[in-house]
């Protein structure tokens, strides 16, 4: 089974599905259709029913119930795009069997090394089989590991009808990495009472809290004149941009925060004297603090504008998603089922807030409560990404166990 799973995962990650935040189409890149169409064929081949793909590449399929009592319909969701933060083209996975706990040379020519001295989580997987990059691309375990796990779990349940379960729906989405994965997801058509995204990291992760999230684009208009005659006339937009950067809390940035601590993340800056732009993402688990962060940016912009005869600073804020906690807590048994499934399999649940977001955060507010479960990968969105094969296998077992436990629990209640 292990080689079958490895082959399936590699067949996914070697297809380039990078999404594009500048595109207005869904999916945002035409190449996402290549994996989407493959997945439709594969779902049909393994025996799934009601396999559909819509005009925006959203895939849904059904595994019918094999019990004679009523069980809530549960769902499993993953996304097939990869992050535009780092290239996902020409992925060349490397298989590291029986990892010895030492440095892994990803690319000798470019001296790119995956080291436990820097990425200490590697030591959790001594003796296991790792799949890494060749150092020049991301791997795509986010979230092709999740897709592999869902497809493989459905295949296993089909091949083992002695495992009893209710109706299961699976859904695969485009464009999650650019915040649009759930935008055109038809919750009513999906028809599940609740679902789980398989989109977490380390084995054991179980998450039902996530950041409130917004994007901020700040455009600064300056005035350019010859520098030799600039006194009293030039307005350098780059310097105003620097003023905005320095006006924000200097330690509330991703690399200096953890847990439920929020941040401002400056991820793009472009500048010339006449015009500069800053692009931020704003994150906080606490809704009031989240709103306060947006208000601070607005106050900084207003303060700067008040010093000029025109408004050099334009701030555009856009909320992206909210903390799913308020939608999941009223149906907390869906977290408890996943926790029990892990414990039954000897996996220690790691219940913690997500320092990010998943399709599940938006889906929860669309009426589909949707906690997040580990997919197994580490160091997403970059050249040091890797996933232990054993973690993928464990995630498959968790999906199967959740389906089995749900059917058993509702039989007792009938």
* Catalytic residue positions, numbered: 81, 176
In the chain, what are the domain boundaries? 2-210+323-413, 212-321
Out of 232-241, 292-301, 316-325, 352-361, pick the least confident. Answer: 352-361
Answer yes or no: is pLDDT of 270 > 80: yes
| 325-374 pLDDT per residue, tens | 999 999 999 999 999 999 999 999 999 888 877 789 899 999 999 999 99
Answer yes or no: is pLDDT of 249 > 70: yes
For residues 164 and 152, give the distance between their C-alpha atoms in angstroms, rounded to a whole number: 17
**Residue position matching structure tokens 């977490």:** 200
For residues 267 and 253, give the distance between their C-alpha atoms in angstroms, rounded to a whole number: 11
Q: Locate 301 and state its tokens.
A: 């912009």
Strand runs labelled E in 148-249? 168-173, 194-200, 205-207, 212-221
Residues 20-36 have a mean pLDDT of: 96
Residue 207 CB: number of other CB atoms within 10 A? 28
Report yes or no: 328 and 335 within 8 Å, Cβ to Cβ: yes
pLDDT of residue 357: 75
Answer yes or no: is pLDDT of 379 > 80: yes
pLDDT of residue 399: 98
Residues 142-162 have a mean pLDDT of: 98
Residues 61-68 have a mean pLDDT of: 97
Read off the pLDDT band of 414 (50, 70, 90): very low
DSSP 189: H
pLDDT of residue 410: 87
Question: Mean pLDDT over all residues of the chain?
Answer: 96
CATH of domain 2-210+323-413: 3.40.630.10
What is the phi/psi pair of residue 360, to 5°?
A: -60, -30
Residues 60-72 have a mean pLDDT of: 96
Q: Locate 29 and state its tokens.
A: 């890149």
Residues 28-48 have a mean pLDDT of: 98
200 CB-near residues (< 8 Å, 6+ apart): 206, 207, 354, 372, 373, 374, 375
Residues 271-278 have a mean pLDDT of: 98
pLDDT of residue 412: 63
pLDDT of residue 358: 79
What is the phi/psi pair of residue 264, to 5°?
A: -110, 130
CA angle 165, 171, 173 (to 5 degrees): 160
Report yes or no: 284 and 262 within 8 Å, Cβ to Cβ: yes
CATH of domain 212-321: 3.30.70.360
Percent of the chain past pLDDT 70, that is, above it, reads 99
Could you tell me which residues are beta bridge partners of residue 282? 214, 264
CA angle 382, 19, 324 (to 5 degrees): 85
| 194-230 pLDDT per residue, tens | 999 999 999 999 999 999 999 999 999 999 999 999 9
pLDDT of residue 413: 53
Does the fold of domain 212-321 match that of domain 2-210+323-413? no
């Amino acid at each position: 089974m292990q080689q079958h799973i490895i082959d399936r995962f590699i067949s996914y990650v070697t297809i380039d599905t990078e999404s594009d935040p500048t595109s207005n189409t869904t999916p945002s890149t035409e190449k996402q259709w290549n994996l989407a169409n493959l997945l439709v064929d594969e779902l049909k081949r393994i025996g799934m029913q009601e396999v559909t793909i819509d005009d925006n590449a959203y895939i849904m399929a059904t595994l019918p119930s094999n019990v004679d009592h009523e069980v809530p319909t549960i769902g499993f969701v993953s996304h097939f795009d990869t992050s535009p933060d780092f290239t996902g083209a020409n992925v060349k996975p490397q298989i590291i069997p029986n990892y010895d706990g030492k440095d892994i040379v990803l690319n000798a020519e470019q001296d790119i090394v995956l080291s436990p001295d820097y990425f200490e989580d590697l030591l959790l997987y001594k003796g296991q089989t790792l799949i890494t990059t060749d150092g020049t691309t991301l791997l795509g375990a986010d979230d092709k590991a999740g897709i592999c796990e869902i497809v493989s779990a459905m295949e296993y349940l089909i091949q083992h009808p002695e495992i009893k379960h209710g109706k299961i729906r699976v859904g695969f989405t485009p464009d999650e990495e650019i915040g649009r994965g759930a935008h055109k997801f038809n919750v009513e058509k999906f028809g599940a009472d609740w679902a789980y995204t398989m989109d977490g990291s380390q084995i054991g992760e179980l998450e039902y809290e996530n950041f409130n999230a917004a994007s901020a684009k700040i455009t600064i208009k300056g005035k350019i004149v010859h520098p030799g005659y600039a006194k009293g006339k030039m307005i350098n937009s780059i310097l105003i941009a620097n003023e905005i950067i320095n006006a924000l809390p200097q330690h509330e940035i991703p690399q200096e925060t953890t847990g439920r601590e929020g941040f401002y993340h400056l991820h793009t800056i472009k500048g010339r004297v006449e015009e500069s732009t800053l692009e931020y993402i704003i994150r906080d688990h606490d809704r009031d603090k989240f709103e306060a962060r947006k208000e601070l940016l607005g106050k900084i912009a207003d303060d700067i504008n008040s010093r000029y005869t025109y408004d050099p600073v334009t701030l555009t804020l856009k909320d992206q998603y909210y903390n799913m906690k308020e939608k999941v807590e009223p149906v907390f048994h869906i977290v408890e089922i996943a926790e029990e499934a892990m414990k039954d399999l000897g996996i220690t649940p790691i219940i913690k807030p997500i320092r990010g977001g998943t399709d599940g955060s938006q889906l929860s507010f669309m009426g589909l409560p949707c906690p997040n479960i580990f997919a197994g990968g580490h160091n997403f969105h970059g050249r040091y990404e890797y996933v232990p094969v054993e973690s993928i296998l464990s995630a498959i077992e968790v999906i199967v166990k959740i389906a089995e436990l749900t059917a058993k629990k509702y039989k007792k209640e009938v």
